[in-house]
Amino acid sequence: MASMLFKRLFEVRLLHEYYLMQADGTSLFDKKRTEWPNGLAEKVINRQYNVANDLLIEPTESCKKQLTDYHIRFAVKPTGFILGIEVNFDQVTPRIPLKEPVLFQFSIRTKNPQFRSFTSESASNTGYYFSNRPLQLKRMRTAPTLSNTIANFTKEKTYAMGELARTSDKLQIARKTTNSDTALDWMPLSDQGDQYMYVNDQDTCRFAQKTIPYQATEPIKKLVAKLVADGSTEPVKTISLSFDTPVQIVSLNFLEDDKGNKITDGLYLLTVSYNENPEESKMIYFSDTLATLRPYALIEITTAKGEDFSVLTADNSIRKSHRIFDILIKSRATYWRYRSNNGKKLTKPDSYDFLTEKGLDLITVDPRLLSAEASYFQKTINSPTVFLPGPDAAISQQGDDVFYSNVFVPKV
């Protein structure tokens, strides 16, 4: 029986900060990337990191056929997934040549019902799209991360607590729900540079059928919608609507383009403007299957040439070191709220300068990242180091535009 030889083609790591926190409240993401392998290996060996506990990673049906056709094996790892391709005995040439660019699709669905509770994301998020494709709609990336560069702050957007934005060229996290750039509403983060890009609002994507209900924030008098295909600049379809009696919801039909041709499935940019409001842009991925499946994310990896994102060499051979793409998922930031199981008032020790009294409760002065591991509090270098129990992933949002994580104190 002839033997088969496989080489790594590419790997995608889904790294969630919730499981990568340290005892001092910092995370692996705060360290230099050269220090990540040892930190990740330690977590995996100690069974403290396995993305398969939270996420179901699968090739799409069309991708499964491609994997078979090109003699490619797919495997889930604790840190994500990897593909291996059968090669000739020269160990660099694929057994089945990849002469034409091949696009591999993988759907990511949530398994853990609490996953979104400890994950930082926009309140309006419907899904995410990640890819190494060379041409991306309004996207800027730095290898090896697949996330789009985090956008600068804009007053046209309302940021949920924990959302990220760049203000004054610094990466910051919203301390509360806000549309203001006042320093009191933002907390600076450790910023290792644009090569460390977290999953953010610029990666959001709506998986939809080609007839889309659009709901406005005010009654619509006039509306213009433009649909642009990935890799293009000209709209494939423009919809202009006007109403004598303003309406709140309109149906946008993208079954055919402006020339009457069927609009194909895939990635598009939808830009909508109505009345005198600024334009709103959103990535749309047309697919009846994905619209029904409603995945947490879709990952597309192509073998097309793409500089730092290329899977193959210039002559379509296998790389000596396979590409490793990263998707960095940030942990949710909340105020940790300590309260008595018996409804009694908790009193703050004088030395606990990281807590403040509010009603019967003790609340952290600053938001703190949720963590799967125990961590200690220390407001300044000269402050005492104090270990306190952390919350579980359950989140309750109050009326003052912040998230609280409750920690119930027994026998008090």
What is the β-pairing status of strands 128-131 and 396-397? unpaired
Instruction: Give the C-alpha separation, 206 to 381, whole Å.
Output: 45
Identify the DSSP state of 156: T
CA trace torsion 98, 99, 105, 106 (10° rounding): 20
Give yes or no for a contact between 337 and 347, defined as CB atoms under 8 angstroms apart.
no
pLDDT single digits (tens) 45-100: 999 999 999 999 999 999 999 999 999 999 999 999 999 999 998 888 999 998 78
Task: Please state the rounded mean pLDDT for residues 206-225.
Answer: 94
**Range(s) of the chain covered by CATH 2.60.40.1220:** 205-291
The proportion of the chain whose per-residue pLDDT surpasses 90, expressed as a percent, equals: 60
pLDDT single digits (tens) 177-205: 999 999 899 998 865 544 468 999 889 99
Instruction: Give the C-alpha separation, 209 to 212, whole Å.
Output: 7
Output the pLDDT for position 76: 98
pLDDT single digits (tens) 265-289: 999 999 999 998 888 889 999 999 9
Task: Please state the rounded mean pLDDT for residues 137-164.
Answer: 83
pTM: 0.92
Output the pLDDT for position 104: 97
What is the β-pairing status of strands 297-302 and 323-329? unpaired
Give yes or no for a contact between 36 and 107, defined as CB atoms under 8 angstroms apart.
no
Task: Please state the rounded mean pLDDT for residues 162-170.
Answer: 84
Instruction: Give the C-alpha separation, 201 to 33, whole Å.
Output: 23
Burial of 308 (0-12, 13-18, 19+ CB in 10 A): exposed
Going by pLDDT thresholds of 50, 70 and 90, the confidence category of residue 31 is confident
Instruction: Give the C-alpha separation, 164 to 87, whole Å.
Output: 43
Q: Which of 19-33, 130-144, 168-182 has the lowest mean pLDDT?
A: 130-144
Q: Is the pLDDT of residue 224 over 70?
A: yes
Q: Is the pLDDT of residue 137 over 90?
A: no
Residue whose tokens read 């895939």? 266
Q: Is the pLDDT of residue 382 over 80?
A: no
Output the pLDDT for position 149: 85
Instruction: Give the C-alpha separation, 135 to 156, whole Å.
Output: 27
Output the pLDDT for position 79: 97
Output the pLDDT for position 121: 84
Instruction: Give the C-alpha separation, 208 to 177, whole Å.
Output: 28
Q: Is the pLDDT of residue 44 over 70?
A: yes
Instruction: List the end-to-end C-alpha distance of the chain, in Å, as a whole number.
Output: 71
Please name the CATH architecture into which domain 205-291 falls: Sandwich (2.60)
DSSP string, 42-90: HHHHTT---GGGTEEEEE-HHHHHHHHHTTEEEEEETTEEEEEEEE-TT
pLDDT single digits (tens) 289-338: 999 999 999 999 999 887 678 899 988 899 999 999 999 999 999 999 99
Cis amide leading into 37 (omega within 30): no
| 157-173 as b/e: b if 16+ CB within 10 A | eebbbbbbbeeeeebbb
Burial of 262 (0-12, 13-18, 19+ CB in 10 A): exposed
